[in-house]
Amino acid sequence: MKETVLLTKRMRDFPSDSHLIDIYEKSNGYKVAKKTLSKSSPEEVLKEIQDSNIKGRGGAGFPTGTKWGMLVEDKEKYLVINADESEPGTFKDRILLERDPHQLIEGMIITCFAANIDKAFIYIRGEYAKPARRVQNAVEQAYSKGYLGKKIFGTNMNLDIVVHLGAGAYICGEETALLNSLEGRRGEPRLKPPFYPAVKGLYMKPTLVNNVETISSVPWIVENTGAEYNKLGVEGSTGTRIFSLSGHINKPGNYEIEMGSSFGEFVETLGEGVRNNKKIKAFIPGGASAPWLTGEQLEIKMTIDDVAKNNSMLGSGAVVMMDEDTNLVNAAKSIVSFFAHESCGQCTPCREGTTWLEMILDRVASGRGRSSDLELLLDVCDNISPGLSWPPKMTTICPLGPSAVSPITSLMKNFREEVENMIPTKVLL
């Protein structure tokens, strides 16, 4: 198994200065945007994106071409790049922001050309100070060369980009919460409908909200055609994808691969195996929101459809491996406590439910659990996500609450005994 390098090529070829505009231009940079703006039509660009069948890389996997096609015509429209990467296990956008910010900017120029947009924002999570500085530098470099601002590349197109720093709220990765945050409000997800920011988004104007990796793919797709991109990977999961591999692995890191290999092969080859030759007990296939899979399921293929068939999701591409020595109750507690901390507080089932789940798991993990706690955990979960099915049903505005249910149902389904063993038994005196 080998990497297929489209988005991470430049940072490998120029490891010490791939973020600079000179290097970017030396390695073919901004040529695609220049050519597109002078020779193509917006419709042609849209068609390439639709032909590529690329799906959004943020987590939801919504087809990008469809999203662009839904953008309503209006005098005032916006592009917002979602760089609020905070799904535990995920660090792939960080490398794209830090190491190749111009690739993102070029992708944004082409996107805005296709959608006739003249104002764009990059919403970067506040904790990503260093990536944000790099992106801000890159934006300033692009302005100084005339690639942003008025009449870019000498054409009639104008584009301004603002780098906006978040302030530590995972929920702002949810696109409507992100838009509220960008409007200077609390980062609370909006009540739907309207369902799509492409219809009513920032300031209630049509807005494209796309992930960093998605838009960073645009220059390659437009240069090499959507049909070529569509040949990579497998049907339903085309192109390459950057997976963030972490946990008990010899060589954790970001790997750009075509989707279609199995998790086991991924771990053994690129990840160079499990630390200390241990066995995998459980793993998370797509970020903390995704239900866990077990060590027996490593043969599952890393495609959106295959993982979905096994009642989980490829999500943000964050693969977390947990070896046989892992205390899974503690692991679940960590994830649940994450969601409890990040709940925005609007919906009662999520606000109260995640807090209770955290408290109950805490007492189980510390050996003070009650025999009724297992059922109680599932009952609270059922109030957040009725039926405990996958994909989850919701009693909440956004999927954050139901995400906290994932680790618990995984635990109860596959490792119930491990939880039971942590409950103290009664001793007759």
Partner 1 sequence: MSWDKKLINQANKIIKQYPQKRSALGPLLHLAQSKDGYISDDSIEVISELIGITEVQVKSVSTFYSMYKQEPTGKYLISVCKSISCEISNSSDVIKKVQEITGLNNNETDEEGIFTFEKVECIGACGGAPAIQINYETVEGMTPESTESLFNWLKENQPKVIVADILQEKFGGTRSFEWGIKDNSGTIASVPGFQNFNTVGESK
Q: Using the minimum distance from each CB to partner 1, give the nearer residue, 349 or 407.
A: 407
Q: In the complex with partner 1, which residue's Cβ is closer, 95 or 384?
A: 95
Q: Is 196 left (phi over 0), alpha (psi -120 to 50) or beta?
A: beta
When the beta carbons of 327 and 372 are compared against partner 1, the nearer one is: 327
User: Which residues touch 130 (CB under 8 Å, ≥6 apart)?
Assistant: 98
Tokens matching residue 114: 């296709």
| Nearest residue to 335 (alpha-carbon basis) of 411, 419, 243 | 411
Sign of CA dihedral 412, 415, 417, 418: negative
Residue number with CB closer to partner 1 (48 or 87) = 87
Q: Which two tokens stand for residue 123?
A: 């919403």
Nearest alpha-carbon partner for 210 in 65, 331, 374: 65
- Angle between helix axes 31-39 and 212-224 (nearest 10 degrees) is 70
- Least spacing, CB of residue 10 vs partner 1, in Å: 11
By beta-carbon proximity to partner 1, the closer residue of 163 and 374 is 163
Tell me whether residue 76 or residue 296 sits nearer to partner 1 (CB atom).
76
Cβ of residue 189: shortest distance to partner 1, in angstroms? Answer: 13
Per-residue burial over 261-288, b = 16 or more CB atoms within 10 Å of its CB, e = otherwise: bbbbbbbebbbeebbeebebbbbbbbbb
Please, what is the minimum distance in Å from the beta carbon of residue 105 to partner 1?
16
Q: Shortest gap between Cβ of 235 and partner 1 (angstroms)?
A: 30
Distance CA 8, CA 216 (A): 10
Shortest distance (Å) from residue 375 CB to partner 1: 25
Closest CB 54 distance from partner 1, rounded Å? 23
